[in-house]
Amino acid sequence: MTVVAFDFDGTLSDSEMTVLLGDRRGVAEDMDEITERAMNDEIDYAESLHKRAALLEALPREDAAAAFDEVVLREGAADLIAELNEAGITTAILTGGFERGVAAALEREGVSVDHIVSNRLPMNDDGTELTGEVDGPLIEGTKDDALAALADDVGVDLAETVAVGDGANDLPMLEVAGLAIGFDPKPAVEPHCDVVVTSMAEARETLVEEGHLTDR
């Protein structure tokens, strides 16, 4: 038994939640620029997240919900998660993105994971629009701590875990996991990966080769 922890935006999904939300607010280009700089480790992730959330201030609740409904899993992601679940492997999503979008994408594909650790975009007091703030356990990008806590809960050594990610905020978990799989990783991230893949099929092959899944 082990824990396989996935990043979400750019890994399980090729959607970028803040950009989808930014489309609804007319600030998608600004969002994309900030996101790209953060993923390349050019600016601090927490700073980038606060900047992106601030651009969303006053976005109506209905528009936020519509943006989250656009979040989709990439090809093969749902099948891989389902196979890991069937194999008795603990599955987790550790994301600086937002729980609502993750939940919508998983529900649409009829698949679930054992743990989701994510952030949230608060609404104002009357629940009609976003405040422009962000809260949650992964604002500082401490995915190493989140992965360690999951491993402890499951009762496995951190060295037995697998982390899959693409951006600079994934580096903490990639560096402490027993197997670090870079999913089409950014240039600053690739040197820290044990294996680099560009599809969920390749990720599955790696998990088979490492003995976590059985080849069909």
Which positions are catalytic? 7, 9
Phi/psi of residue 135, nearest 5 degrees: -140, 165
CA Rg value for the chain: 17
Residue ranges with strand state E in 58-205: 90-98, 115-119, 162-165, 179-183, 195-197
Token digits for 1?
């038994």
11, 41, 105, 128 from 93: Cα distances, Å: 10, 21, 12, 28
CB-CB contact of 25 with 183 (8 Å): no
Angle, helix 28-39 to helix 17-25, in steps of 10 degrees:
160
